[in-house]
Structure 1
Amino acid sequence: MPAAWTPTSANRVIQGDNLAVVSALPDGAFTAVYLDPPFNTGRSQSRQSTTSVRSVTGAITGFKGQQYDRIRGDLMSYDDRFEDYWSFLEPRLAEAWRLLSDDGTLYLHLDYREAHYAKVLLDALFGRECFLNEIIWAYDYGAKSKSRWPAKHDTILVYVRNPAKYHFDSAEVDREPYMAPGLVTPEKVAKGKLPTDVWWHTIVSPTGKEKTGYPTQKPEGILRRMIQASTREGDWVLDFFAGSGTTGAAAASLRRRFVLVDESPDAVAVIRKRLDKAGVAFE
């Protein structure tokens, strides 16, 4: 990190190990944290044990003890790939929780292979009262399996820092067309409808203007929706699996501020080029 970051700093793009970087960021500084981690790395990762107790009314110092250990053990006995993946993801989620403001929201983007494990463990780690939504992002692109129902969706788990104080403003969210416009009034058709927890949105077009060439790039419309609902102008947004920089691009277009972190030099180069092209100021 070039200099200590504070909420009065400029937008920032940081190359480095995300766990080390975010550990140096101040508590409660971000209104939204979006994480799009590798869906299952299969790599050995550094481990960090956490045994203290979470309290929604006090400082977050850790996670639930024996209940969490039992649930983690049950899941490990069900799928032995789980241990390495969760040992990688768990300390990063602990940091995300610490970094959220009291009115903040975490969006964790996964696919069908890991989403159900994560939901059970996040309930144990953070408390079921902090679960807000399971968002399904549905798309229709790519190969079509003939031996099973083709997998054409991702899951985004939404947890809030404090269920009594989180920020959510549906009036700020871009509306979408009605699927059956003949069933509503012309006025409602013209206005559009609010999205539900199922988001029909195409992937980034391979030939579209938004395409950066980054292999796991997410469409800006998906990030806009989260940021619009869960932040206000001037709020800080954090993404420490930043990839192609979509979170920063969406945040800047909505007059939010951002910190993006990625350990890949190629990813950071893509992010910097993308933000420079859009005229976004950052360090």
Structure 2
Amino acid sequence: MPETGPTHAPACAGPASANTVYHGDNLSVLSSLPEQSFTLIYVDPPFNTGRKQTRAQRTMVRAAEGEGDRTGFQGRAYNTELGTARSYHDTFDDYLSFIEPRLREAHRLLTEDGTLYVHLDYREVHYVKVLLDEIFGRDCFLNELIWAYDYGARAKNRWPAKHDTILVYVKNPKHYHFDSSAVDREPYMAPGLVTPEKRALGKLPTDVWWHTIVSPTGKEKTGYPTQKPEGILRRIITASSRPGDWVLDFFAGSGTTGAVAAKLDRQFVLVDQNPEAIDVMRSRLPESTAYTKA
């Protein structure tokens, strides 16, 4: 039966001597890591949007009276100045040929009780679902999570896209770690229909997660495009790993997986080939993190 609470896996050698960030091609890094090293693998690969993903760093500079392109508190004028832009290219002619060998490595690297989360959107998720069924087996499919948010797209000629999909697969459907009791509860959407005791406790999350994106003005913001909120990773890491377990993210981007893993007393390995991502992670992750050029 699947595990429904904390378990204690046999001690084994970790994939690294310390929390580690690899700067280089993820496929070559993955092939160098020992098999069955990670209890949890989360990846947020490029979505194949067909464009260059860029998020500009903007700052507000006080302007002379009567000048400036924005008006702020008490009518003061400000100029918006553009700083360094962080970006990466998100175009693939054959997406499945790109992602398949990396997902096969993910399968090899998972422990027997391990779980893989693959974060995608509508462009490629149905193709990747079929591919994961082939790699893991259909009986290893655990969940299709929907992360819904209300920001961004404002299409007028179709329903605006306001969700991502996270596919969840386990290495062994009869023996995997999942601890729902450790996950933060959320408010009932219809609190008047439940008892005061249940309202106070909150409900366990379902497979539809309502969570805001990273606020452009919030503390989490790094300026890296496609940065995912810590709340999403906190839920994933808490449910599908234990303190001390190793967590892998080989499309690490801004390093959210590592930042949350460290706060939750997990160990991590991150991989990214974008120098801008490495710069962001250096400023965000614990000082003890090791950085290796792959």
Interval of TM-score (by shorter of Structure 1 and Structure 2): 0.7 to 0.9
Which has the larger displacement, 23-32 or 82-91? 82-91
How many aligned positions are there? 239
Give how far 1:124 is off: 2.1
Give how far 1:41 is off: 6.8
* RMSD value, Cα: 1.8
Give 1:16's aligned residue.
24
Change (3 A) 1:126 1:8: closer
Give 2:141's aligned residue.
131
Give 1:64's aligned residue.
none
1:267 aligns with 2:274: no
Which has the larger displacement, 174-183 or 212-221? 174-183
Structure 2: how far apart are the matches of 1:166 and 1:181? Answer: 33
Structure 2: how far apart are the matches of 1:212 and 1:243? Answer: 10
8 Å CA contact 2:41–2:247 kept in 1: the answer is yes
Write out the 4+ residue segments of structure 1 that deviate beyond 2 Å after TM superposition: 5-8
Report the residue type matching 1:227 in the other structure: I
Structure 1: how far apart are the matches of 2:122 and 2:233? Answer: 19
8 Å CA contact 1:134–1:156 kept in 2: the answer is yes
In proportion to residue count, which structure has more helix? Answer: 1
Q: How does 1:32-71 map to 2 (within 5 A)?
A: 32-40=40-48
Give TM-score scaled by structure 2 length.
0.78
Give 2:33's aligned residue.
25
In proportion to residue count, which structure has more strand? Answer: 2
Structure 2: how far apart are the matches of 1:37 and 1:10? Answer: 24
1:282 aligns with 2:292: no
Structure 2: how far apart are the matches of 1:161 and 1:42? Answer: 32
Give TM-score scaled by structure 1 length.
0.81
8 Å CA contact 1:6–1:25 kept in 2: the answer is no
Give how far 1:143 is off: 3.1
Report the residue type matching 2:39 in the other structure: T
8 Å CA contact 2:39–2:240 kept in 1: the answer is yes
Q: Which has the higher contact order (CA 8 A, sep 6+)?
A: 2
SS at structure 1 position matched to 2:46? coil
Report the residue type matching 1:86 in the other structure: L
Change (3 A) 1:228 1:39: same
Q: How does 1:46-125 map to 2 (within 5 A)?
A: 84-125=94-135
1:154 corresponds to which of 150, 164, 189? 164
8 Å CA contact 2:183–2:238 kept in 1: the answer is yes
Structure 2: how far apart are the matches of 1:86 and 1:211? Answer: 31
Structure 2: how far apart are the matches of 1:82 and 1:260? Answer: 22
Which has the larger displacement, 88-97 or 118-127? 118-127
